[in-house]
Amino acid sequence: MQTYHLPDRTLEILHSPSNRIIFEALGFDNARFVGGCVRDALFGLPRDDIDIATPHPPDDVLKILTQHSVKVIPTGLKHGTVTAVIDNHPVEITTLRQDVSCDGRHADVVFTQDWALDALRRDFTINSLSADWDGKIYDYTKGYEDLFTHTIRFVGNAKDRCMEDYLRILRYFRFYARYGTLSNVDNEAIEACELLAPQLKKLSAERIHTEMLKIIAAPSPMGSLHLMQQHHVLEQILPFSIELSSLERLISFPYPEASHPVLRLACLLSTIPNHEAETLVQYLSQHWKISNQERQILHTYLCQTNQRDALIFSDDQSAKKLIRKLGKHDYIGLLLLHHCSHDSIHDLHRLYTMAQEWAIPEFPVRGSDLMALGFHGRQIGVGLKHAESWWEEHHFLPTKQEILTWSQKHFP
């Protein structure tokens, strides 16, 4: 084991009042920060979700925290996890444990008093670090060195770790997307991921969905996605012909919308032939369990290509009609997707700025207004449709009275 120390400026990230209450209750010698909060604190990054480990058995943790007037929820007693809630802020507390059997999806555990054994059961070396309240870091797997050389390495034998939980294959590429570099790819890890990639089909659709969106949402996911494609991992969960160049272009755009994971997913899939788009959305609904909202967004972006292609020669007036029809969010998404495969970057900046700044006007005429003029039945709907088109063609400028005068003249 090697030890290091968190700098004082990053230690402050972990020293919240709620965390102090938990450490005081459990005993400063019987609690440590573990996993991602330690990893991110080393980079000076704040983190909302805090994980704490303790050698206390889970039933004792419940009793101790309750005695200290801390609200505690038995969220996963079987695996040793409870959740403390202080000032509406949840903190997960897990008893030190070892995996005794795994089936690729679930693990049976036994509890232990040994911090080293708990570290050795974790997936990656950079996730196996623990830190006490004073900021002393305990490193049982050389995770500290791997973190600062941007090496994503499994704890122990890579193949064994993946066979314990096949989701670790996707987790490898997620952590590589955030912390890894091409110059330090761990060959053992990549070989294990490629060998066992067909086993991803045994995972639940929800787990695949969650991990893939996290990969795609990473600030720089392209290196990871290229590795997934090169080593036949991506094809196991997206059995379509995928090209990565469009997504790479989207990520280069200096707009906040370009980081939205569902838009990035749509861009990743936008290179498939148009006639396969509906099939692809159906596939994601079944095999990724995407939400209804995500399904609708993907359908808009991938299946309504006539609207996307109409943007190619859009003047401002045509674009404004489309913005009113789709809403700003979907219009900007389609705009960015279109320019991922076209070079008219000047038009992109102009149309994007217009969409952001333009206040969408509301058509001022209602059916009741036409009824007052003597319209009835189907005439009302037809009249509203034609009146709104005329209003749009005249740059949304005619007043309500001008629209009614025009309607009365053209639909007696």
Question: Distance (Å, rounded) from C-alpha 412 to C-alpha 76?
Answer: 71
The residue type at 402:
E
Burial (0-12, 13-18, 19+ Cβ within 10 Å), 169:
buried
Q: Is the pLDDT score of 315 beyond 90?
A: no
Distances (CA, A) of 300 to 30, 142, 211, 277: 53, 47, 23, 11
| Exposure string for 110-127, b = 16+ CB within 10 A, e = fewer | ebbeebeebbebbbbbbb
Please write the tens of the pLDDT for every residue from 64-93: 999 999 999 998 888 889 999 998 899 999
- The per-type count for the chain, helices as H runs and strands as E runs, is 23, 10
307-314 — which CB contacts under 8 Å span 24+ positions? 307/334, 308/334, 308/337, 308/338, 309/338, 311/335, 311/338, 311/351, 312/338, 312/342, 314/347, 314/351
What is the chain's percent helix, strand, coil content, to nearest 5?
A: 60, 15, 30
Higher pLDDT, 102 or 238: 238
Provide the percentage of residues in the chain whose pLDDT is more than 90. 72
- Residue showing tokens 């596939």: 283
Report for 40-49, 210-219, 327-336, 348-357: range of highest mean pLDDT: 210-219
Q: Is the pLDDT score of 313 beyond 60?
A: no
CB 119 within 8 A of CB 153: no
Read off the pLDDT of each residue in 359-371 and give the average, rounded to a whole number. 94
32-38 — which CB contacts under 8 Å span 24+ positions? 32/115, 32/130, 32/131, 32/132, 32/138, 33/130, 33/131, 33/132, 34/94, 34/118, 34/129, 34/130, 34/131, 35/122, 35/127, 35/129, 36/127, 38/6, 38/129, 38/130, 38/131, 38/137
Question: Distance (Å, rounded) from C-alpha 212 to C-alpha 225?
Answer: 10
Strands (E), 164-292: none
- Both tokens of 130, joined, read 């623990």
Question: Distance (Å, rounded) from C-alpha 95 to C-alpha 31?
Answer: 10
Can you give the pTM of this predicted structure?
Answer: 0.87
The residue type at 171:
R
Question: Distance (Å, rounded) from C-alpha 400 to C-alpha 407?
Answer: 10
Q: What is the mean pLDDT of the chain?
A: 90
Higher pLDDT, 304 or 186: 186
Please write the tens of the pLDDT for every residue from 148-185: 999 999 999 999 999 999 999 999 999 999 998 878 89
DSSP 211: H
**What's the confidence (pLDDT) of residue 316?**
84
**What's the confidence (pLDDT) of residue 409?**
87
For residue 326, name the pLDDT band (cuts at 50, 70, 90): confident
The residue type at 181:
T
Question: Distance (Å, rounded) from C-alpha 266 to C-alpha 282?
Answer: 14
Please write the tens of the pLDDT for every residue from 266-278: 999 988 877 788 8
Distances (CA, A) of 120 to 29, 129, 275, 387: 20, 10, 49, 71
Q: Characterise 232 by phi-psi region: left (phi > 0), alpha (psi -120 to 50), beta (else).
A: left
